[in-house]
Structure formats: structure tokens, C-alpha cells
Amino acid sequence: MRRRSLLLTGLALALLAVGAVHEALAGPGPSAAATTTTSATGTTEATPALASVWVTQVNGAVTPVLSDYLIRTMEKAHAGKVAALVIEIDTPGGLDSAMRDIIQAEIDSKVPVVLFVYPQGARAASAGVYILMGSDVAAMAPQTNLGSAHPVSLTGQLDATMSAKVTNDAAAYIRGLATTHRRNAGWAERAVRESVSMTAQEAKASDVVEFVAADLPSLLAQIDGYTCVPKGITLHTAGAPIVQVSMSWRDRFLQAVVDPNIVFILMLIGIYGLIFEFQSPGLGIAGVAGAIALLLAAYSLQLLPVSFIGLALIAVAMVLYVAEVKIQSHGALALAATVALILGGLLLFDIPGSFVRVDWAVIAGAAVVSLAFFMVVVTAVARARRRPFTTGLKAMVGESGKARTRLDPDGQVMVHGELWRAHSEEGSIEAGAEIRVLAAEGMKLTVGRSAANGPT
């Protein structure tokens, strides 16, 4: 089993290493295997070296993984001399540092960056509003919405003075972006201070976005000939070849790992794996899986705003679960551990109003599974402790044998074909008489007459 675990672990690490080398050599741009090239009218064409339009999708939270991907994609687009980079976005918001990195890349990009809130039903909330305001072209699909950009503290509640400072800083930042790109700076500031939102049609009528388009071909037809502000680049996108660019498997994996729900589950898997490994020493699958899960959780925790109180409560929950197995408090410690686990999940990312939190359903599911599992383990341990001993000296108690020599009161007896030193607690016992083991200590047995013998 140990060799098999080592082999599986080595194979997994080798595959990851090969994938990492491949990604480093390939970069974030389109590849021959993953590139789909069509014209804006839907007919298939060969992708020319110039005048193509790259399209990529952003779904979910704005994280450092996403910002790294978009920055690399913008750099690759410039190297490929494309006509424009269209980012189809649907996000509830994200981290301020990642958002600012993306906006800075948009500003520095030599290729026009088109932000398209798409598909219908999508939204660009919180950090998504800032990113859209920093783009060269802002567009929305029908039945999408934009807004609610009030900043949220990553360290919990702020006092009135600090809250005002943070809000004023965010308002000035988004007002500057909107003004530079000749968009409605007044509404942008209200989105920060009052968390207002609007539909695609309202945004177009209020000069918050430049275009409303039902789909990508319609968007490319509308923006053709449009001159970006402030870069002064005129777009030529009508009939341009479309190149779909997507995240690599590595980027998709890391983006999924930084999801708060996944982080919480990885932490539990890691802790459970280590608990099982310590209970059954040896390099087993449980220990390897637990270590990998904890390392992945640690990677995510360094990127997310984490509460140390939440981490401490989860650690306390695990200690109490283990104590329940060892002490058997008839479920009292397991219940206390479940309460600590629920509170730890709720406080792990204690950011009121933020998307960075563990869902109630995930917390409840983890609590129920953990409680049920450890109660099953406790029941099994209790049942095992009630069974009679089957090995060791204590298993000798109650066994029958024969006196090899006269016990007066010490002598030798034969039990299970083995010769033992023995002491009689019932007076002298003649050689050859049937005996039974009353106790065992060290290498000496305490014996008495077998019920069939009676007193001598």
C-alpha cells in the first residue's frame, strides 16, 4: 500500500510538472488545438496575422488568478497585433488589488480593450463597474445590469472616519476613470456612494456605456469605426475574424481553488486526512491527500481576506472531534465541535456584504457530515472497547490449562501449549490438575482451580 501511494503521488506530481512546463511555453494566447476562428457573420475563415479580434470570458469573482490571466492575455494580444480584445464579463465583484491590477493593464494596453457585459442576465457589480469604467469601449447586452460599487472592507467593520476615507478614495478613483473615458462620472460616483444600479438601456441613455448589443457579431458591427477615448485608436472590427481565447486548465483550476466554498472544503479534507494518518501511522493515501488539500487551501488563504478567529474555531472543532473519539463523552464534545465548525465557517471570511464568504449550504452540509461521521467512529470505538481481548496477556484471562508442576502456591502451568510461571490464589494445586487463568501481569499468571476439578 505504501509503495502504491508513493507511486500515485509521484505520478500526480509528474503530470502537474509537465502541465506547468507546457503552460509556461504556450502562454495565455490561443493555441492550434483550442482556437476557434469564425467571421463576425458566422462563416469559417482562416485567422490572418492582423486585424483579428480576440474574445475571452470572465465569469465569477475578480481574483488575483483572474487578474494575472487577463494581464497576460492583453500582453499576448499586443504581441499578436490584434484589432481588439473583447472581454465578456459576468461578475459579482472581487478583490480591490486584483481589480486595480486589471484596470492598470487596461490603461497601459496598446490593444483596445472592449468590456461587454454578456450574456443576457449577466451583471457587472462592485469591482466589475470599475473595470468597465477603465475599458476603452463599454458595452452591455440587453437584460443585464451594472452598479452597486460601494467598497467593502476586507478587515470587518470600519469606524465612521475610516469608512468615509475608503468611500471617498473609491469615489475619486471611479470618477477619474469615467471622466477620462468621457462617461457619466456623476452616476459612477453614485454607484460608489449610494450603491445604485441600472439596466443596459438606462446605462446607454445615461452615457455610462457606449453600446448595447444582443450578441458579439452585433457588437463588432456597431463598434466598427469607433474611436476610443483617450487612446484615439479607431476600431476596425466589422467582419473581422474572431479568435476565442480561454483560460488554461491551470488558470481554471486555480480560479476554482480560490472559491471560498472550495477553500472551506479543502481545509476539512486536509484536516481529516491528517487525523486519519496520525491514527494509522504510515505514508497512506489519507495523509498524502490531506497534505495536498491543506497546501491548496493555504495557497487560497494567502490570496483571500481570512479571519484568524474563523481559522481558530475550525481548529478547535477538529480538536474536539478527536477528543470525542478518545474520551467518549457520549456526543457532548462532538456537538460542541459541530457548533465550533459552523461558527468557524461563518467567520472564516468575515466581510459583511461581500461575495467572499462560505455559503450556508456548504457549512450545514459539512457540519452534518462531520457530526455523523465522528459519531459513527465513536460508536465503533466504544463497541470495540467492550469486546473481550483477543490478543496479548489480557486475552489469557479466563482461559483453561493444566498445572505442569505442583502449585504451592507457585509453580508452572501449561496454557495454549505454552509454559508459564503461575501463582495459585486457591491454595495448593496438584500437577496435572485443570486450572483457569484469573489474571495476568508481566510474565506471570494468577490461576485457580477449574470448576470441573473442585477443591483438592
C-alpha cell at 329: 463523552
400 is catalytic: no
Q: How far is CA 76 from CA 62, 68, 109, in A?
A: 20, 12, 10
Which of 194, 91, 98 shows the shortest CA–CA distance to 149? 194
Catalytic residue among 52, 67, 109, 126: 126
C-alpha cell at 286: 489519507
Catalytic residue among 31, 97, 163, 165: 165
Q: How far apart are CA 170 and CA 330, in angstroms?
A: 54
165 is catalytic: yes
Provide the annotated active-site residues. 126, 165
